[in-house]
Every structure is written in C-alpha cells, then in structure tokens.
Amino acid sequence: MRRKNIGKRYACLGVMAAIAVVLGGCGGGGERIQSAMQMIGELNYEGALEQLSLAEENGENVRLIHRARGIAYMGLTDYEQAAACFEEALAGSNGLVQNVDFDLNFYLAAAYTKSERYGEAEDIYDAILSLRSGNEDAYFLRGNVRLAQGNYEGAKQDFDKVVAMDAKNYDRLIEIYQVLDYYSHGEAGREYLQAALEAGDKNMDKYASGRIYYYLGEYQSAYLALEEARESGGVESYLYLGKSYEATGDYNYAASVYNSYLEKYEGNAEIYNQLGLCEMAKGEYRNALDAFQAGMQLQNVTMMQTLSFNEIVAYEYLGDYRQAGILMENYLKNYPDDAQARREYEFLSSR
C-alpha cells in the first residue's frame, strides 16, 4: 500500500478558497432564484440548476439567473461553464456600473483563476481597482494570480498595499503567508507575520498570536498562547491548538483537544477531519474512518471533498480495496478535476 500525506492533501484548496470570494448583497430575484440559491447553500447544485431553468420559464431576472447558474457550476467544478454564465450576466448590464457588476466580476475572476486563466483574472482585478482603488480584496486576489504567473514582485506590491490598509487584520496576514508559502515564497510570508509580532500591538489577543506562532513554526509558543484562547476563539482555537500539538508529534493530546471540543459543542467537519488525521497518524484506522464519516454526516458540509478522499484512504489502510475503489469511482464523478485522485483510482483498480 502506498503511503499518502493526506494531512496536506488539500493544502492548496485553502489558498484557492480565498481566491473564490463569495460576495453578498445580491439577493432578490424571483421565487425560483431564491430557491436555487438556498439549494446552492445546501450544496445541491444539480437541484439549483433545475430551479433556475424553471425561473427562466417564469420570466424571472435573467442576470440573476445567469449569476446563480455560474455559482452552481462553480460548485460542480465546471469552471469554464461558470465563466460563460458570469460573462453572460455581465453582458446584460445597462451600462451603469452597479454593485452586482462588481460581484459578478469577482465571481468571473474566480472562475478564470480556477481554470488557470490567470492573465484574464488579473485583467478583471485591474478593472475593479480602476473603479474602486480602495478594495482590499481585489489587491489581495490580484496578488494571488500574479504569483500564479510567476510575478512575485507584482504580488508583493499588492500584498504590501493590503497590509498598509489594515496591518491588524491578522486573518488576512495569515492568508498572505499561506499563498506565498504555497508558491515557494514562505520566507517572505514569514516576514509579514514576524513584523506583526514585533509591532507589539497590545490589542493582539492570544488567539491571533498563537496562530502566528503556529505558522512561524514556533509550536510551543503557539500552543501556550492557544491554551489561553481555547474558549474565547471558538472552533478555530481548538483547531490550531490541536494542530500545534500535532506538529510536535503529540497526536494523543491533539486528539484529546478535538474530542474535548466535540464533547462540549456541536459537531464540526474540520474538527472531525483533524481528529481522523490524528487517528491515522496513530495507526488507528478504524477510529479515523469513524471520524471522517461522522464529519460527512453533518449538514451543509463545505469540506465534503476532503472528508470523502480521506475516507477512501482510511479504507485503503484497512485493506478494504474493494470499498475504496467503489468510493473513489463515485468521488471522481463529483470531483472530476482531481488529478491525484484519478491516479489513485488507477492504483486501486490494479489491486
């Protein structure tokens, strides 16, 4: 059986999720459109598309129909079709730039990015910034696609602009680090984090400093800070606390952190996933499988792809290649653009 580092299996998705910004403020439309958007929120993309066909028959708002279709196709990982829908929605503009036009442009840029049409995505962010020069998200996202094209200097200019706009936005600082690290500029990303710590902001709480220490690789400082923030930071505090102990190799204590959250609060997909990864690291594959499947049973799970893949890996480690193969076949129907999974399916087919 081949070893797989499933803990980092979807590291890039966290970065790319930041690129696919979902903006609010574009509600409305007819009854069918609203129903479709609710289905999208429930990850029922096929059902949403059916509702949108009915919305079209009922003469509901055409631009919002195209917009919703694009979002549904994004959920189905059909990024080319999604881009076509967003383009069609933009083509229906009356010439006056409205909030919905900015929203559509962000979605279109996300679809281009997912299709690796980085130059076209950058052009869209350029256009957004020409009209809204203070849009922090556009600078950050343009930095992402510039990095994807190998333009480190241009990306750093954008990230510097973002930090200058709000140096105390620690969530965004961490996102900048993550994307720089993904594109092999981790040292530059750590400079942003180190600068934030050295600034000595008295308003930086233990949750923020703990996460920064985690990404700087100072895991003891991270878990000491996060132990203090365990209750105040919600689920993320537990996640980072557990991950800090994982990074030191203490999987038993990390698992106890995740279990303590599950004992006190409602189930959380990320917690279940990390618990499963801990159990995998301990060689407790049945416990890992139980954790992944428990996460999959929750409603409106946004990381179903990760959990589904990890479920398959757990079955492999348990030696149940038949079940792993069946699940992988279904997985590829839902996520056909996952090249690594397709290679894994070839391996399973040979068992």
Q: What is the predicted pLDDT for the residue at 337?
A: 75
Q: What is the predicted pLDDT for the residue at 19?
A: 41
Whole-angstrom distance, CA of residue 238 vs CA of residue 240: 6
H/E run at residue 337: none
Burial (Cβ within 10 Å: 0-12, 13-18, ≥19) of residue 343: exposed
pLDDT tens digits, residue range 164-187? 999 999 999 999 999 999 999 999
From the list 11, 2, 68, the residue with the least C-alpha distance to 35 is 68
Whole-angstrom distance, CA of residue 111 vs CA of residue 147: 17
- Output 217 or 13, whichever has higher pLDDT: 217
pLDDT category, 216, cuts 50, 70, 90?
very high
Give me the percent of the chain exceeding a pLDDT of 70. 90
Q: What is the predicted pLDDT for the residue at 94?
A: 80
pLDDT category, 199, cuts 50, 70, 90?
confident
Q: What is the predicted pLDDT for the residue at 335?
A: 84
Whole-angstrom distance, CA of residue 115 vs CA of residue 113: 5
The arithmetic mean of pLDDT across residues 140-145, rounded, is: 98
The overall average pLDDT reported for the chain is 89
The arithmetic mean of pLDDT across residues 13-27, rounded, is: 41
pLDDT over 80 (residue 15): no
Whole-angstrom distance, CA of residue 343 vs CA of residue 240: 31
pLDDT over 90 (residue 123): yes
